[in-house]
Amino acid sequence: MITFVSGEYPPDIGGVGDYTAHLRTALGEAGHQSRVLSRHDVGRWNARALVRVIRHTPITGFLHIQYQAAAYDLLGDICLLPGALRVLRPGVKTLTTFHDLRVPYLFPRAGELRPAAIRLLARTSHAVLAADQRDVTILRQVTEGAHHVPIGPNVACAPPAGYDRAGFRRALGLSPDELAVVYFGLLNASKGLDLLVSTFERILSHRPHARLWLLGGPAGASDPTDVVTGTRLSAQIQRLGPGVLRTGWLPPHDLSAHLLAGDVALLPYADGASARRGSLLACAEHGLPIVSTRPAGAEVAPYIRAVEPDVTSLAEAVLAASEDRSPLAQRSRELGAEVSWPRIAAAHISIYRQLLYSRP
């Protein structure tokens, strides 16, 4: 039995929850059933939550933690779980997927204890996984059992039946020659949103009828900075006037229709483009040319246009991509094929089998 522990899970809005749901579906289609424990089962992610998780953990099988600090209320208690299971459930193999290496908050003046909590989580897990090879390199300084496994797109390319791209664009008031710049993702502080707005203003000076589509919900279920960032950006977005379309959360079929209707994805991440961004991979799944920022991870760099994180470079890249979409669109489709969910499920199954026959 595979038991997933995910700080958030649908109907929560958030990338880690979406990832876990897609992974469970792909594993199920490959004949491996699973269950999930989330905040809906245990409440706040403190020490009491760990007790509840342990009580719900079978005496054998796999327990797979999907780790992102914000998804666990920025608390560090989850980092104690693998070590506790080694004592209380010695027949269970524990894995941790690091969706990023952000350290938990713990308490004021925790200092070095915060990164130490991450090292403890990695060291006491039987295996750790990460989508960005740079994160794997860091994790291998702590444990030999670190694996590079990509994440997949969090939105399948599945528009409504009878979808017509030209007709969909017309329904949104967009003529064939007008540019639709797509941003997909939560309004998170790490997404470079100030740079997004400034870059679009520069694009408007060249293409006055361009549109900016902000696709997805404004705030996730876990990270409180999403609300703060969204509130701060509202005034900046409003000054762009009718050139901005803010959809809010969309059902998957409708979201897929919007992604297919866009011209260029603009994703100016503050820390550069990487394979741990499900929103970037969703754009790739839909063959949307992608412009993002350096430093770009090796897994995505060949498939996107990554430039310096400044207004001029980003605007020029978007305008160039809009003039000739085909090369970048083809690269996006190639990236989408590389990170398909069946491949990701197969990689997980291989790691589970390795652990099954490994020594305790």
Domain CATH number, residue 27:
3.40.50.2000
Regarding whether 126 and 21 lie in a shared domain, the answer is: yes
Is 158 part of a structural domain of the chain? no
Considering the domain architecture, whether residues 126 and 193 belong to the same structural domain is answered as no
Could you tell me if 321 and 344 lie in one domain? no
Nearest to 287 by CA among 175, 121, 165, 167: 165
Query: Within a 10 A sphere around the Cβ of 298, how many other Cβ atoms?
Result: 12
Q: Measuring CA to CA, which residue among 62, 53, 43, 81 is closest to residue 3? A: 62
CA distance 202 to 43: 45
In a domain, 301, yes or no: yes
In a domain, 193, yes or no: yes
Overall number of domains in the chain: 2
Is 308 in the same domain as 223? yes
Nearest-CA neighbor of 148 among 168, 127, 129, 172?
Answer: 129
Domain check: are 136 and 183 in the same one? no
H helices present in the chain, as ranges: 15-29, 39-42, 47-55, 81-88, 113-124, 133-139, 165-171, 193-206, 225-238, 252-261, 278-285, 311-323, 326-338, 341-356
Cis amide prior to 11 (ω within 30 degrees)? yes
Region of residue 66 (phi > 0: left; psi between -120 and 50: alpha; otherwise: beta): beta
Placement of tokens 């300084």 in the chain: 141
Residues 301, 207: one domain?
Answer: yes
Q: Are 147 and 182 part of one and the same domain?
A: no
Question: For each of the chain's 360 residues, which pLDDT tens digit applies?
Answer: 899 999 999 998 888 999 999 999 999 999 999 999 999 999 999 999 999 999 999 999 999 999 998 889 888 899 999 999 999 999 999 999 999 888 776 666 667 778 899 999 999 999 999 999 999 999 999 999 999 999 999 899 999 999 999 999 999 999 888 999 999 987 766 677 889 999 999 999 999 999 999 998 765 445 555 555 556 666 677 777 788 998 988 999 999 999 999 999 999 998 899 998 999 999 999 999 999 999 999 999 999 999 999 999 999 999 999 999 999 999 999 999 999 999 999 999 999 999 988 766
Q: Are 3 and 34 in contact, with CB atoms under 8 Å apart?
A: yes
Sequence length of the chain is 360
Task: Answer yes or no: are the C-beta atoms of 263 and 325 closer than 8 Å.
Answer: yes
37 sits in which H/E element: strand 34-37
The verdict on 325 and 216 lying in the same domain is yes
Q: Domain for residue 226, yes or no? A: yes
Alpha-carbon torsion 128, 278, 34, 100, what sign? positive
Say if residue 75 is in the same domain as residue 196.
no
Dihedral sign (CA 192, 198, 201, 206): negative
204: in domain: yes
284 & 202 share domain: yes
Find the domain containing 207 and state its range: 165-338
- Same-domain pairing of 196 and 119: no
Q: Within this chain, do residues 212 and 320 fall inside the same structural domain, yes or no?
A: yes
